């Protein structure tokens, strides 16, 4: 699997977990290990929270799932990325329209984390020429990085569950991997 394809898969994992509360079936099937393991401090911290989450899930899955649901409701406003005032709903909507992108989660705002991650996944998957690569750079620097750094920080500091704390640290690690591997200067 190519690096950009892996990044695309990771985007979909994040989008799936930010669009709504995880259901019981998927909750019970969550893998013991996160998709990426590396030596970044953010990744290591994310794994520490992930292990705690798995231990709690294995002890009392119904109670752990209820806590995750309550935490999602608490964090829900943060998944609308315009909450951070770094981008606007109008700007991201116009950006998507310019590139004829039809957001997969039509019931969510264009600037919802799930739709923005789905767009990034699509661009990464098809980044094979200069035009697409320039689009990727523009999207990452203007819309994605500032906003998703803020989201990662919010999850790390405001999440009550180890589940969403882990996602905050994994998101910070993912942002660092993208920045480093693509040579972004932001």
Q: Supply the pTM of this predicted model.
A: 0.95
pLDDT tens-digit readout, 19-37: 999 999 999 888 888 888 9
**What pLDDT is attached to residue 94?**
97
**Does the structure show a pLDDT above 80 at 131?**
yes
SS (H, E, C) the chain: CCHHHHHHHHHHHHHHHHCCCCCHHHHHHCCCCCCCCCCCHHHHHHHHHHHHHHHHHHHCHHHHHHHHHHHHHHHHHHHEHHHHCCCCHHHHHHHHHHCCCCCCCCCCCCCEHHHHHHHHHHHHHCCCCHHHHHHHHHHHHHHHHHHHHHHHHHHHHHCCCHHHHHHHHHHHHHHHHHHHHHCCCC
**Does the structure show a pLDDT above 80 at 1?**
no
Mean pLDDT score of the chain: 94
pLDDT tens-digit readout, 57-92: 999 999 999 999 999 999 999 999 999 999 999 999
């Amino acid at each position: 699997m190519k690096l950009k394809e892996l990044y695309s898969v990771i985007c979909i994992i994040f989008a799936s977990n930010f669009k709504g509360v995880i259901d019981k079936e998927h909750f019970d099937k969550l893998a013991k290990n996160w998709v990426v393991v590396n030596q970044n401090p953010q990744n290591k911290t994310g794994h520490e929270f992930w292990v705690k989450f798995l231990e709690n899930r294995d002890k009392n899955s119904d109670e752990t799932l209820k806590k995750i649901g309550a935490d999602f409701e608490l964090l829900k406003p943060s998944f609308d990325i315009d909450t951070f005032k770094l981008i606007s709903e109008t700007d991201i909507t116009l950006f998507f329209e310019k590139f004829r992108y039809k957001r997969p989660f039509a019931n969510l705002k264009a600037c919802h984390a799930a739709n923005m991650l789905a767009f990034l996944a699509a661009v990464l998957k098809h980044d094979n020429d200069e035009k697409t690569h320039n689009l990727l750079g523009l999207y990452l620097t203007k819309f994605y990085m500032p906003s998703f750094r803020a989201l990662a920080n919010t999850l790390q500091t405001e999440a009550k569950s180890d589940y969403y704390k882990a996602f905050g640290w994994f998101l910070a690690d993912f942002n660092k991997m993208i920045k480093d591997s693509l040579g972004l200067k932001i």
